[in-house]
Structure formats: structure tokens, C-alpha cells
A and B are shown apart, each in its own frame.
Chain A
């Protein structure tokens, strides 16, 4: 068995070939195309044509920066809320004594995935609408006399994003907490640390890999979210994904859409770099 492994380690590059070819065709090549298109001019009907220009990047950082910052802000807020809600939840699940209870709670976290994301987001429209479930309930209780404007706001987008991406926060943290040895807590207590100190100096650092992975998994798709702001945000909750999508219709602007995509990719790359470095420092490598 070990001989077999050793023999094949030499052929590592050969074994990786299918993946490399796959990445070249379906990742590198499209990326190069997007990059080239982003540097071209807009022709009739929004298609790309020569000559090359940087105008679309200039425009991306000009008026579009408002929406870009809004997207980054909303994604960051989503990540923070998911962390605040998800961390205790992951702890709750992994500290269930009975295996069965743990399985059931974990199952409940994954359960929403059984229904299509689009349908679940539409459901939020019905919940948040002016004549929707939440307003109807509050008005029947007499808490409010006029319906609250919930739908078509950035708040609605935040709710939709947190709802949609919470499992991506819970699962990696759960995996981290699972591996956490609770005897460390006893040890910290024995050495005189109080609960807060124990949490900050022992529990949090040891579960940090899960926290970082969860944050990356929530932040990255949130920045580029398209369906959630489209259905819940209306005119006031527009995000960069919607504007990029608009550029690829018949009379849009494909080079501008490509430039915006590249800028968004840069934002995602930056946050991934933060993740990698934080992780490295964390594991002491």
C-alpha cells in the first residue's frame, strides 16, 4: 500500500492533469476572455468591439462605486450577523450529549436546502410585503397601525442574505467545535481563568479556523448576490450583481459588465487573501 503511494507520488503531475486541464478550460480561459472583453469598447447592442479602452474601469470606479461599496457593506454585515447567530448555534449543536439530538439539529440546519433558493426567497417577499404576513400579524396585534416598509429595502436584502447563507457559517464552525477538546476549558478554569477569559483565550482561538472558513463562505457569495437583492431589494437594495446582470441583456454593455466583474473578483480575491493570511498566522505556519 505504501509502495503504491510512493510510486504514484512521482506521477503526481500526471494524476493532477485532468484537474489542470479542467481548470484551464473552465476557469483560466473564461477569465482571460472576461479580462479582454473588459478592456474593449461597447458596440451596438452592447457587444464588445475594438479599440481597447480603460473607460469601463474608470466608470466602474466612478458612479458604480456607490453600489460596489453598498455590496461590500451588505456582505460584511451579513457575515457579522451570520457569525453572531451561527457561532452559538454551532456550539449548541456540537455540545449535544446525545448523538441523536446532534444529528437532528444538524439536519434541521441543512433542511432548507431541500427547497429551491429562489422559492425560499419569494417566500420572504410574501412575509415582508406591505400586506404580508409580518405586517398583517403586527397590525392585528395592534402593535402598529400602518404597515412597516420592510420589502424593497436594504434591510430586506440583509434578512434574505443572512437567511440564505447562515448554514455556510454554522457548518464549518460546527466542524471546528467538534474537534475542540473541552478538557482545555477545565484546564483554563483550573489555572484561574474566568469564563470570558477562557472563551477569548482558549475556545475562540482553537475554533478560529472554522470561523474564518465560515466568514469566507458567507462573505464571498454575498458580495456577488443577485437573486436576493433582485427579489427583496427593489430600487433601494440594488447590488453590484444586479448591475452586472443588466449589462448582459441586448442593449446593455458587455465590456462594462466584464469590467465590473473583474473589479468584483478583485474584491473577493482580497478577502480570500485576508482569509489565507489570517489562517496562516492562526495555525502558526
Chain B
């Protein structure tokens, strides 16, 4: 994974060389025969551009139902109970692995998705899905700290500043990421399955969590924006979206130097999808250079789409933002979360419950 991202950054550094190809780009066209059909998408909240779905509906003459979720776990629980009728889901890496093992995803027909050619080659064939049988990358990004520039005029460069801050802090309700950060400090593998190491990480977080006012499920940026917290551990895109919304410099995002979590979200088709063919057409649409660039320009996450990056469709402000496309030396310190199996999962689950219980004592 680290190698992939290093290579990715090299590619990105070379990107400006290949600018200004936008004139040659032909708009994506929908294959025929889908008019009047319906597609149901189940995606993370605030994770698509305003016109992505309407443009697809217009291009194909179809209707799209769009539902949102807040966590991989929430989505997984819905699909596990029997797919309620979704054609597209957007699981993160480890979740793809788990869903594939549980036969909750159906294989993609890559011939129906010619725009696979647009994806950065190094992002294809990831460890959680080596043949891209079940997934193709949608967006990628990091977990880091969003903070108030008024409280931290000199910025945040270390997790220690987060632990030691005398003021309200919001953590992210992502057990593997939070424990993984503690593992970095303790010198352990962030994906360790060892009970003692997991409990040590729990204790490390408890010791350093005295200033935590809430463990937020993906709305830390809202708390930061409202002034309820000075620091929110959050996904980079969420923090960037509020600084973009307020058109101010009140908030910024940083990846602490000790390292953090990198994630890749993927487009997949859940088992029993009512319309898998149209779902594959939609995946092809998302992987179009212009559509992918518009998406990144709106939600400010890093695009896995080399054609988007090279075409110059992505705003330069985003391409050159280290919070979105971090520099190589930072990327080298990022860790990815994998599926750790039932036993370690239970250990992590117990450690997290105990953390939540004792954090408030």
C-alpha cells in the first residue's frame, strides 16, 4: 500500500506536465438500452458532487435513488440483513475484503467498464481485492486533525499536541484508526491482532483522552465549525469542506508527523442488486476523466483517476494541496486498515467499548 501511494505521488508530481488536454476530452456517453430503468445508490453522506447523479440520469434517461450512510459498519449491517435493493455501495478497503469473503458482493464485468483504463495503474489490484474482481477505487484520503487556526496559530504537527491540548477535542468513532494511531506510538503494527498490544493501545488512548468531549461519528467538522471543539480528528475531506464553505482560514487540516490512517473507498455492487448492468455503467461513468474531476473539485478528496489528474480538469488549488495529495514523506508513514479477522475484531471491539465507558469517568 505504501509503495502504491509513493508511486501515486510521483505520478502526481509529474501531472502538471500533462496539462491542458481538456479540449480533446469527449463527454461521457451512455450505452443504449437503459432508458426508463432505475439505479439505487448507497453512498457515504456528503460524498458526491451536486450534479453527478442528475447528469447521469440525463445521459442515460434513468431514475436514480440515492441513500446515504455514516459508516462501513452501518452499510454492512444493512446489506447483511438482505440487500434492500441497492445497486451500488461504496465500501472501504477492509470492508471490501470482508464483504467479498461473505459473498455480499457480485463480480464486476470489467469489459462493461472501459474507463478502468483511466485509473492510476498502481491503485489497481490492491491487497484487499487483488484482481479487482469486486471493487474499483472511488476516492482516497487520510484521517488527520482538523483544528482552529485561532487556537493553533503555529499549526499542529504532532499527535502529542492533540493529547496535551487544554481545550475540547473530538475523536473519530473509528476504532481501528484510533487504536492504530496509539499503536504507532507504542511501536506496534497498527493492524496488530495481539491482545496485550490492543489493550496497551486502549490504555494509551485513555491516558491521553482527558480532553475528549465527544467521540464523533463523522460529524467532527460540524463541531469544529460551531466552536464546540478546538480539534476534531476527522477525514481530510470533511475538514476541507467546512473551510471551503466558510471561505475563511479559520480551520485547517494536518496529518501529524507520526503518521495516520490512509483509506481507499471503492465502488462495488452488492449481492442481489436489482440492476447490476446499470450499476456497471454508472461505475464507468464515475471513472470518466471529467466526471471524476468534477467529483474531486466538489468533495475535495483525492481522485484515483489518472486521466482526471492529467487532463487539468481538477482545480490546481486541490492538486497542490498537501492535505489532499500529501507529500511523499508523509505518505510513507500512513497505514492502511485491513480486516483483522473475528478474534482480533472482538478484542478491538471490547477495547473500544471499555475506552468509551472509561473515557467519561
Residue positions of A touching B, CB distance < 8 A = 42-47, 59, 63-64, 66-67, 126, 129-131, 149, 151-152, 234-238, 243, 246, 248-253
User: In the complex, which of the residues B77, B215, B356 has the most CB atoms of chain A within 10 Å of its own CB atom?
Assistant: B77
Binding site for A on B (CB under 8 A): 71-77, 80, 95, 98, 102, 168, 175, 209, 212-215, 226-228, 341-342, 345-346, 348-350, 353-354, 356-361
Q: B226 touching A246 by the CB < 8 A rule? A: no
CB distance from A126 to the nearest CB of B (A): 8
The secondary structure that dominates the B interface is helix
Supposing A129-B228, A236-B360 touch, asked if A246 and B72 sit within 8 A by C-beta, the answer is no
Q: Decide if B349 touches A253 in the complex (CB within 8 Å).
A: yes
Output the nearest chain A residue to B98 by Cβ-Cβ distance.
A45
- A129 and B226 form a contact (CB under 8 A): yes
Asked if A235 and B214 make an inter-chain contact with CB atoms under 8 angstroms apart, the answer reads yes
> How far apart are B206's CB and chain A's nearest CB, in angstroms?
11
User: Are the CB atoms of B73 and A252 closer together than 8 Å?
Assistant: yes
Tell which of B98, B342, B350, B360 touches A237, judged by Cβ atoms closer than 8 Å.
Answer: B360
* B346-A246 in contact (CB<8A): no
Instruction: State whether B227 touches A251 (Cβ < 8 A).
Output: no
Question: Beyond the given A44-B98, A243-B357, A249-B71, could you list 12 further A-B residue pairs with CB under 8 A, ordered by the A residue number?
Answer: A42-B342, A47-B80, A59-B350, A63-B353, A64-B353, A66-B358, A131-B226, A235-B214, A250-B72, A250-B73, A251-B349, A252-B349
Per DSSP, chain A at the interface is loop
CA distance A94 to B328 in the complex (A): 73
9 A-B contacts, Cβ less than 8 Å apart? A44-B98, A46-B345, A130-B228, A131-B228, A235-B359, A238-B357, A249-B73, A250-B76, A252-B73
With known contacts A235-B356, A237-B360, A249-B71, A130–B345 Cβ distance under 8 A: no
Q: Within the complex, which residue of B74, B213, B353 is in contact with A234, where a contact is CB–CB below 8 Å?
A: B213
Q: Which residue from chain A places its CB closest to the CB of B346 in the assembled complex?
A: A42
What 8 pairs between A and B have smallest CB-CB spacing? A250-B73, A249-B73, A234-B214, A44-B342, A250-B76, A131-B227, A236-B360, A152-B213
